[in-house]
Amino acid sequence: MQQSITNKCIAVVVITVALVLVLTVISGKISERERYFDEAKDKVASSWTSSQQLAPLVIALPYKVPVIAKDGDLTVVKYDHHVKMVAPSLLSIESELAHSNKVIGIFNVPIYTSVIRVNGTLERNFFKELFERISADLGTDNVEFFAPYAVTLISDVRGINRISSLQWNDTSLNFSSGNQSVAPTGGIHVPLPQDVLSHNQNPINFAFEIELRGMESLDIFPTGLQTELTTKANWPHPRFDGGFLPTSSQIDSDGYVAKWSVTSYASNIDDKLSACNEKACKQLLASSMGVSHINPVDIYTQTDRSTKYGILFIGLCFTIFLLFEVLAKRAIHPIQYILVGLANAIFYLLLLSLSEHIYFALSYVIGAVGCIGIIYFYMKPVLQERFYLWGFMGLLVLLYATLYFIISMEDTALLAGASLSFIVLATVMVLTRHVDWYGLLASNKDSESKEEYLS
C-alpha cells in the first residue's frame, strides 16, 4: 500500500461527496420525468375525464314567498323565489369500477369506467312534512310550492357514458342536462310528478343506473339521511379517501370490495344542503366516501427511492473496497474508486430510462447485470486473487438484491435500509477487530521512507 489509510479515507470521502452531486442530478431527472407523466395525465383529463365526484341524488323543491312592499301609496306584492335541497330518507349505492390504462406516448395513465346503481326511498308523507317544515321556518303558510325535481351532481359530466331513466315507483322519468344551478358543479336533473304535492303520500321508491368514466379516483357524497355504499373494482391497490372510511373492506390480488354506512348524524347532511341552498357548497363537496386507484410503488417512486439509498449503496461499496485493501493488503487507486462509483451511479439512470419502456423488475435486472458485469471486467486485474474477486462480486450482487428488496417495500423500506446499514457496519467491525491500524500506518510510513531513500 503506497499511501496511508488516513489519506485513503479522506480521498474516499471526497469522492463520495462528488458522487452525491451526480445522484442529485439523476434525482432531478427523475422529477422531470415525473412532471412529464403528470402532463400526460392532464392530457387524459382534458380528453377523457379527470377524477369524478358524485352526489347520487338530492331532492330540490322550488317555492316562492310573497313579500309586500310599498311603492308610494301603492301596495305591491313581490315574490322571493327559493329552492330547497333536501336529502332522501335512504340511499343505497352500488359502484363497480373497471380499471384500465390509457397510453399517452410512453406513459400509461390509469383510468376507469364505473357502473353506479342508485336505489332509494322517501318515507311516507316525505313532502308533506317538508312543506310544513319550510312554512314553519318562514313563519307563514302563504307559501306556494312548485313541482320538485331530483338532481344528481357530477363534477365532470363529460364522463357520462349512459344513464337510465329514473324509476319513480311505477313511473319512468327521463333525465335532462344541467343541475338547475342548485350547486356550483355539473349535473343532471329530472322533474318529479305533480302528485307529490298531494297531502296523502305513500312511501316512494326510486332507482336509476349511470355509467361514468373517470381517472384515478371516485368520490361519492353521502346525500341520504342513511347512505349505504358498496364499491368493488379489479384494482388491488385502493386508497380510501374522504371524510368517511369504509366500515369493512376486503382487498386481494384480484381487486377489492369496500362498504360504507353513513348516517345523517355523522354526515350532517341537512346543514350542508342548507348551506348549499345559499350557494355555499364547500362543506358538502369536502365530505365524501372516496377511493383512489394508486400504484403504491410506481416506477418513479421506486427509482426515486433507490436514488435516496444511492449514497448508502455507494458508501457500502467503498467500505467493502477499503476492507479488501486492509485484508488483502492490495492498494486500490482513488481513480478506481471514482470509476466504480460512477458505474454504480449510472445504474440509476439506466433503471429510470429502461423502466419507462419495460417492467421495472426486468429493468432492474438488466441495469444491475450491466453494472456488475462492467465492474467485474474492470476490477479483475486489480483483485487478482479469485477469492477476493468473487467475494467482492458476491457482495455487490447481494447489495443490488437487497436494494431491490428495500425499494419494493412500501411501509418498511426505512427499517430494511437501517437494518442493512447496521449489518454491514457490524460485519466490518467483526472482520477488522484484530487489525492493528497503528501498525498499518507505521508500515505505510516505512514503505514511503524506503521509496524516498531508493529514489
User: What tens digit of pLDDT does each residue of 198-225 get?
Assistant: 756 788 899 999 999 988 889 999 999 9
Mean pLDDT, rounded, for 119-138: 86
End-of-domain residue from the set 267, 293, 319: 293
- Domain shared by 377 and 232, yes or no: no
Give the bridge partners for 60, in sequence order.
Answer: 85, 149
Of 199-203, 251-255, 445-449, the least confident: 445-449
All 3 cell numbers of residue 247? Answer: 366500515
% of the chain surpassing 90 pLDDT:
18
Phi and psi, residue 254, nearest 5° = -90, -10
Residue 346 belongs to what domain range?
5-37+299-454
User: What tens digit of pLDDT does each residue of 343-397 get?
Assistant: 888 888 888 888 878 888 888 899 889 888 888 888 777 766 777 778 778 878 8
- Domain shared by 104 and 32, yes or no: no
Q: Do the domain assignments include residue 44?
A: no
End-of-domain residue from the set 262, 277, 293: 293
Three-state DSSP state, 63: strand
Contact partners, residue 142, CB within 8 Å, separation at least 6: 65, 66
- Domain shared by 367 and 283, yes or no: no
- Domain shared by 263 and 326, yes or no: no
All 3 cell numbers of residue 249? Answer: 373492506
Of 45-59, 138-152, 435-449, the least confident: 435-449
Rg of the chain (C-alpha set): 34
Q: Do the domain assignments include residue 43?
A: no
Cβ atoms within 10 Å, residue 381: 8
* Residue 222 near residue 229, CB atoms below 8 Å: yes
- Domain shared by 272 and 329, yes or no: no
- Domain shared by 333 and 287, yes or no: no
Q: Do the domain assignments include residue 445?
A: yes
- Domain shared by 65 and 25, yes or no: no
Q: Do the domain assignments include residue 261?
A: yes
Give the model's pLDDT for residue 260. Answer: 94
Q: What is the pTM of this model?
A: 0.68
All 3 cell numbers of residue 305? Answer: 427511492
- Domain shared by 76 and 105, yes or no: yes
- Domain shared by 27 and 102, yes or no: no
End-of-domain residue from the set 293, 318, 349: 293
What burial class does residue 34 get, using C-beta atoms within 10 Å of its C-beta: 0-12 exposed, 13-18 middle, 19+ buried? middle
User: What tens digit of pLDDT does each residue of 402-411 get?
Assistant: 778 777 765 6
- Domain shared by 268 and 330, yes or no: no
- Domain shared by 352 and 285, yes or no: no
User: How many domains does one find in the chain?
Assistant: 2
N-terminal to C-terminal alpha carbon distance within the chain? 17
Phi and psi, residue 310, nearest 5° = -60, -45
Q: Do the domain assignments include residue 325?
A: yes
Three-state DSSP state, 370: helix
Q: Do the domain assignments include residue 161?
A: yes
